[in-house]
Structure 1
């Protein structure tokens, strides 16, 4: 039986960042990945956006500190194209409160009127079936990265420090034995002081196999892609908050999607029935989309790992000594992974995360009457 100080379940971007920072602290680290290679789950299928425009302090700072790290990492291919939120009248007041908080934390965010919002492209502020747009906010430090490049670089650094990655290794069960955990996998048994659950969409199932109730479920999301555009126009990743429709440039193409409310579960493949309602709201606001062609073969799907409040679960599991969660990011894992890696290293090596207050994201919040009320969920 092989023994580790920390055994991480999941070698996506969260698990990789944690592995690097834990190995950096001198701990013996192992990673279990059920897929043939790392970064093929939500990490590899991410829309790759990073933003600081959240409404809760913890989420803002998780992303802001992570962006600073990506900015200094060539493998991240960080490109600050910005995020543009088109805000309807009904959300304007609460959205501006979020901007005030962001700016108070030293995060660059601008408020723009309709004319300023149309700097890059035209849209219809008043569109049939949608709420009128009153104004916009723009985050100049927001942008896009290469999640696969980030993940593989963290794993390279972790391996250099002695971490071991086991691919094609399924987590089967775990039970506490004395002061440690015995973990059963498709490749045999492991013993570890800490299990770190970074299994993404499978985090809830990993918990169940260890006899723990961790409220993380998979939810399928679609990303549609256009054919190449003869004269691509670089512009921010844009989100219409009245409909949930979003789009951004991808080389010489455009990718777009819309938050859908389908039931959770492991449902595979593209749901082409979602294309029509997505385009309906997109064309209403951005009529010029009609000139673009769809490339079905370039479109893709992936899983969000969702929690009841669409915020991650970070830190030690109550009642299960030695079990730590870093999961349930609900589409925000890539943009928060760098800082999460640092915090989980503190949580395990120092006994408690201290660089940032993660109490609002701990498991115990689900027993509270007032939960985290993050409003900028896309």
Structure 2
């Protein structure tokens, strides 16, 4: 177990991003070793996400990454003989007056890039979801938006990667990594690994993984909580609905609802467990917009928590690390990793094999933006 292992690329993290990247690298003929700290894949942010996929973003690169990924998830049965669990239940954004102009500009961008998005007046949106319309200028609806099964997608990509020679090492955290003579040497509890390239796809742990290599990558973990209701008395298929005025969201999951709201006051860190103190503030704003929430029950045993991997501008960090040979970042998705993984796997493989991503221009997401002042805050963060 302690012999030295060599590869062309070490991918750190076997969540959905790492799995998609390993598949695409192996597909291009590279020898890939995938190092996962946990006892099984998809046990971090991937497995604890709310599983939404959407095209409604304000930055073109985010729209393209998400839209191309959604199209791949939709085609999973034809491409890979597996069902990605894709269900186009839709995303409905309720937009306050102050954000309406910016939101309409986002719709124009999304449509220009080929993504289907509809603009609805409040009364048409109320036919989809009953809500109090005060302060709402209008709504946008993405009919191709919806949900996938993150576990199934991850395991499909891993199967495809391993069929092409990739090796998966579980319970193998990266303890330290150093670069010398064109090769990265990574120490793990099971010995040393060597490869010319390391892809940092460690999710919420990406900042820590970088520090173990002597690097600073601005990715921090922030806890997010998903609350779950009991079965509805009158089952109804709700799209993933977001009240942008308060940040509260919900969607159907079988006979239940999932709902939540980001806590802007919670500092970064690996806090564990459901934050029950955040339930009352979440319900307070939910009831103001959706009074029918008063008739719902809560299943405390079904609620869960996970981590967003957050960056300063809520955009991922993709591509080669400037001045650091062989280090490639694929992290910091700020809650959007599941919906962008399929396309990210391709662009990271291009970055490694071809020297630069070319199917999608990811220059706005490169690390250098933090030093050139070219950061652009993604406005559509839930």
- The question of a shared fold, defined as TM-score above 0.5 by the shorter chain, is answered with yes
Asked whether the equivalents of residues 238 and 252 of structure 2 are also in contact (C-alpha less than 8 Å), the reply is yes
> Is residue 2:169 matched to residue 1:166?
yes
| 2:18 corresponds to | 15
CA distance in 2, matches of 1:230, 1:242: 28
> Is residue 2:95 matched to residue 1:101?
no
Report deviation, 1:75: 2.7
Asked whether the equivalents of residues 201 and 304 of structure 1 are also in contact (C-alpha less than 8 Å), the reply is yes
| 2:328 corresponds to | 324
The DSSP-based 3-state class of the residue aligned with 1:76 is: coil
Q: 1:360 aligns with which of 360, 364, 368?
A: 364
1:265-276 map, 5 Å: 265-276=269-280
| 1:227 corresponds to | 230
Asked whether the equivalents of residues 83 and 237 of structure 1 are also in contact (C-alpha less than 8 Å), the reply is yes
| 1:70 corresponds to | 73
Asked whether the equivalents of residues 14 and 35 of structure 2 are also in contact (C-alpha less than 8 Å), the reply is yes
| 1:253 corresponds to | 256
What TM-score do the two structures reach when normalised by structure 1? 0.98
CA distance in 1, matches of 2:23, 2:276: 39
CA distance in 2, matches of 1:318, 1:237: 38
Report deviation, 1:159: 0.6
What TM-score do the two structures reach when normalised by structure 2? 0.97
Report deviation, 1:121: 2.5
CA distance in 2, matches of 1:173, 1:313: 21
CA distance in 2, matches of 1:152, 1:75: 11
CA distance in 1, matches of 2:25, 2:358: 15
1:305-320 map, 5 Å: 305-320=309-324
| 1:146 corresponds to | 149
| 2:57 corresponds to | 54
The DSSP-based 3-state class of the residue aligned with 1:233 is: coil
> Is residue 2:341 matched to residue 1:333?
no
Q: 1:137 aligns with which of 133, 140, 143?
A: 140
CA distance in 2, matches of 1:119, 1:355: 39
Asked whether the equivalents of residues 75 and 153 of structure 1 are also in contact (C-alpha less than 8 Å), the reply is no
| 2:196 corresponds to | 193
Provide the alpha-carbon RMSD of the alignment: 0.7
CA distance in 2, matches of 1:164, 1:232: 44
Report deviation, 1:260: 1.1
CA deviation vs aligned residue, 1:319-356 (integer Å, no higher than 9, x gap): 11000000000000000000000001100011100001
Moved over 6 A (4+): none
CA deviation vs aligned residue, 1:96-154 (integer Å, no higher than 9, x gap): 0001111111110000001111122311012xxxxx11110000000000000000000
Structure 2: unaligned runs, 5 residues or longer: 77-81
Structure 1: unaligned runs, 5 residues or longer: 127-131
Asked whether the equivalents of residues 86 and 240 of structure 1 are also in contact (C-alpha less than 8 Å), the reply is yes
